[in-house]
Structure 1
Amino acid sequence: MSISKIATNPHFGIFSVEKLIRVAPTLAVWGVGAGSAVALLGSDVPLVKKDILSRIPIAGAYFKVPEPEAEE
């Protein structure tokens, strides 16, 4: 007579590893979409251009903000 073992999956609340693996591609797509929307909507704000968008490795040169020349 065999004794069955109880096997539990690690989880945090209702989130388990299997559920996270299953929804990871969807979360990635929504994350890229949200990041793109924030970049598009914030591209008119000079502070966002200077501090965030100009530091993007490939497209950063497009968002350069000209520095005002200091008057002496």
Structure 2
Amino acid sequence: MPFSSTQFKSQYGPKYHAQAHLKGATPKTLLRYGVTIAPFGVAAGAAVLFFASGIPRVQTDILQKIPVIGPYFTKNIHPADSPF
């Protein structure tokens, strides 16, 4: 009885397997797009922090906790100027 092509697979032939993908995008393409888009995300985040840096809540919760520029956003009021 002869074998059909779907039943017989040669041990010497190429080993095919399905490549992992997420709706057609392989891990290699996702990594490439992520590396390309990441600087734009960082720039957008920096722009949002720059525009919101005048809000006191943003200054105390976010900007004062950054090690290098944190002291710039602390407000030290001289005791003579304090009404209390």
User: Above 0.5 in TM-score?
Assistant: yes
Structure with max Cα Rg? 2
Higher relative contact order (CA 8 A, sep 6+): 1
1:10/1:17 contact within 8 Å kept: yes
Q: 2: CA distance between counterparts of 1:33 and 1:46?
A: 22
How many residues of Structure 1 are paired with residues of Structure 2 in the alignment?
Answer: 70
Q: CA deviation at 1:66?
A: 4.6
Select the residue among 57, 64, 67 that pairs with 2:74.
Answer: 64
Root mean square deviation, CA, Å: 2.4
Structure 1 segments (4+ residues) deviating >3 Å: none
**Residue aligned with 2:59, SS:** helix
Counting aligned pairs with the same residue, the percent is: 33
Query: Alignment partner for residue 9 of structure 1, among 19, 33, 39?
Result: 19
More strand by share: 1
Higher share of residues assigned helix: 1
TM-score w.r.t. structure 1 length?
Answer: 0.74
Structure 2 portions without partners, runs of 5+: 1-9
Higher mean C-alpha deviation, range 2-11 or range 21-30? 2-11
5+ long unaligned stretches in structure 1: none
Q: TM-score, normalised by structure 2?
A: 0.65
Distance (whole Å) between structure 1 residues aligned to residue 74 and residue 19 of structure 2: 49
- Equivalent position SS for 2:67: coil
| CA shift in 2, pair 1:56/1:14, >3 Å | farther
